[in-house]
């Protein structure tokens, strides 16, 4: 998410289906309490879960 990639790009990089990526992204948004990908990245950086 932090790289701004689409579901299709992430799926290709990981060798999984785009639908699987979509489900994982939705789970991440829910766990972080984020409304969208941008907010999820912002929260994750603040919590030091990821670095950019």
Q: What is the pLDDT of residue 1?
A: 86
Residue 39 lies in a domain: yes
The total number of structural domains in the chain stands at: 1
pLDDT of residue 6: 97
Q: Is 2 domain-assigned?
A: no
Does the residue 51 lie in any domain?
Answer: no
Instruction: Write the pLDDT tens digit of every residue in 1-47.
Output: 889 999 999 999 999 999 999 999 999 999 999 999 999 999 999 99
> In this structure, is residue 31 part of a structural domain?
yes
CATH of the domain at 17: 1.10.10.10
Please report where in the chains the tokens 């994750």 appear, as a residue: 44
Range of the domain at 31: 7-46
């Amino acid at each position: 998410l932090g790289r701004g990639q689409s579901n299709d790009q992430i799926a290709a990089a990981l060798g999984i289906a785009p639908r699987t990526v979509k489900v994982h992204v939705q789970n991440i948004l829910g766990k972080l309490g984020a409304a969208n990908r941008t907010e999820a990245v912002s929260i994750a950086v603040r919590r030091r879960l990821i670095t950019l």
